[in-house]
Chains A and B, each alone.
Chain A
Amino acid sequence: MDDEVRVALRTDADLVNARAQGRAMAEQLGFPRPDPTLIATAISEVGRNIVRHVGCGEIILRPLQEADRYGLVVIARDEGPGILDVGAALRDDYSGMGGLGLGLPGARRLMDDFDIESSADSGTIVTMKKWRVRDELARLREERRRRE
């Protein structure tokens, strides 16, 4: 795909790079602050699991386009042993300590859409998206819709 960026995750330095790439793409797409930093932070949390627990994987960054909104999707993939209890990994006790220490609840709070698929056979795929409404009228429409 055209504007896709892939970052291999193996070392510490790769994680620094993934953060920087995520922030750069978000800024380029026009995300207002603090979104680029929120996205970079989510990438850091999720990417660290790959570097730390699996040893090898990748982050894929892709711009998204819809009629009223634009966005960015972060896909964090590895072919590791998988997360046994995804439910526990996502459990958010709002203390910053929950979720088996994998930082997934935190990452989920930073992003708009969050999805995780994990199994012993095929590893783990975390898909996270951040959206911004395209323009003022679309945003106002969105707010109105939410309130009704």
Chain B
Amino acid sequence: MDTELDQVASDEGADQRTSDQPAERSKEASSLLKELVAYLRDSRTELREEWARRISEAELLGVMSDEEIFSEATEVYDNYVDALETGSIETLQTYARELSERIIPRGVETHEVLGIVLLLRDVLARSLFAKYQEDLELLNRILDEYEPAANRIAVTVGVSFVEERERVISEQQESLRELSTPVLQLRERLLILPIIGVLDSERARQLTEQLLRSIQENRARVVVIDITGVATVDRTVANHLVQTVEASRLMGASTILTGLSSKIAQTLVDLGVDLGMMRTVGDLQGGLVEAERLAGYLDLEADDPARPET
């Protein structure tokens, strides 16, 4: 009876995956891990070479030279083995972030980073198979230590890379947007805002902010908003435009909208957008003439920009 219970108890013990509870890791498991890490360090040279070979074979990291791949590979390998040994991912996360910062500007993509980490995992696993093939039971126990740790490493590196990538894209988008909504001072009291490209509501929001601030800084009386370079306008954007014009008026400036294609004009009509308060002129040239007239006219005579047009 007792021996049967003992048998069951030890079987359960053998089935337990203990990777998430280091406190419960048996002495045997941690000595296996030590053995594993020592082996990986000793075989560093051949395994790293094998890995580099597999990377070229898979045609990953094309943007990097062989020397670069070698030097990064060395660092990744060492960090990988360290992470296996300590079970700590903080150092790995820091490294992964730094690595990402280096390689993202080079154009390395997500699938490449995941690819090489998984290849390393495979290379190391294969070498473990080769080393412990005589003793399948021991191999199993070694893999029990190796696999969860290796998976956690792959996830950590992948996620760090993706997060860094998203941050970079975010920054780039921001600067692109700022570049593409310039408000120019054409003459004293006259601003022109040429809009080019896709106009979404976030961009429209920024555009409005920049324009109103420019009106304030330049003490502008007339603003020309040119949308020649805008292909389509939906309801949200149309409303934004109208709101921009009205807000400009509250700051004492008149607005002229130029460059409406007949398509956009039709869209605005269909959307029931109230263009009553806006002056619109077909082309930019005509709009500028009108604006100068308005600015000149405003300086001499009593035309109040806050009043509705008669």
- The reply, when asked whether chain A contacts chain B directly with Cβ atoms under 8 A, is yes
Residues in chain A within 8 A of chain B (CB atoms): 32-34, 135-137, 139-140, 143
Knowing A135-B170, A136-B170, A137-B166 touch, does A34 contact B200 (C-beta < 8 A)?
A: no
Bound form: Cα–Cα A15–B304 in Å = 34
Number of B interface residues, CB 8 Å? 11
Cβ–Cβ contact B166 & A135, under 8 A: yes
Cβ–Cβ contact A34 & B209, under 8 A: yes
7 closest A-B pairs (Cβ-Cβ)? A136-B170, A136-B173, A135-B170, A137-B166, A143-B200, A33-B209, A139-B202
Cβ–Cβ contact A136 & B169, under 8 A: yes
19 contacting pairs across A/B (C-beta < 8 A): A32-B205, A33-B209, A34-B209, A135-B166, A135-B167, A135-B170, A136-B166, A136-B169, A136-B170, A136-B173, A136-B174, A137-B166, A137-B169, A137-B170, A139-B202, A140-B173, A143-B200, A143-B201, A143-B202
Nearest CB of chain A from residue B212's CB, rounded to whole Å: 9
Encode contact with A along B174-201: 1 for CB under 8 Å, 0 otherwise. Answer: 1000000000000000000000000011
**Chain B binding surface SS class:** helix
Identify which of B169, B174, B200 gathers the most chain A CB atoms within 10 Å of its CB: B200
Residues in chain B within 8 A of chain A (CB atoms): 166-167, 169-170, 173-174, 200-202, 205, 209
Nearest CB of chain B from residue A130's CB, rounded to whole Å: 13
Apart from the given pairs A32-B205, A33-B209, A139-B202, 7 other A-B contacts in the complex at a CB distance below 8 Å: A34-B209, A135-B166, A136-B169, A136-B173, A136-B174, A137-B166, A140-B173
| Residues of chain B lying within 8 A (CB to CB) of residue A139 | 202
| Residues of chain A lying within 8 A (CB to CB) of residue B174 | 136
Bound form: Cα–Cα A116–B156 in Å = 45
Nearest CB of chain B from residue A45's CB, rounded to whole Å: 18
| Residues of chain A lying within 8 A (CB to CB) of residue B170 | 135-137
Nearest CB of chain B from residue A46's CB, rounded to whole Å: 22
Nearest residue (CB) in A for B198 is: A143
| Residues of chain B lying within 8 A (CB to CB) of residue A135 | 166-167, 170
| Residues of chain A lying within 8 A (CB to CB) of residue B209 | 33-34
Nearest CB of chain B from residue A119's CB, rounded to whole Å: 35
Nearest CB of chain A from residue B204's CB, rounded to whole Å: 11
Nearest CB of chain A from residue B210's CB, rounded to whole Å: 11
Bound form: Cα–Cα A32–B202 in Å = 10
Bound form: Cα–Cα A140–B209 in Å = 20
| Residues of chain A lying within 8 A (CB to CB) of residue B169 | 136-137
Identify which of B170, B174, B201 gathers the most chain A CB atoms within 10 Å of its CB: B170
Nearest CB of chain B from residue A32's CB, rounded to whole Å: 7
Bound form: Cα–Cα A79–B205 in Å = 38
Nearest CB of chain B from residue A73's CB, rounded to whole Å: 21
Nearest CB of chain A from residue B171's CB, rounded to whole Å: 8
Nearest CB of chain B from residue A41's CB, rounded to whole Å: 13
| Residues of chain A lying within 8 A (CB to CB) of residue B166 | 135-137
Bound form: Cα–Cα A140–B202 in Å = 9
| Residues of chain A lying within 8 A (CB to CB) of residue B202 | 139, 143
Bound form: Cα–Cα A17–B209 in Å = 26
Nearest residue (CB) in A for B174 is: A136
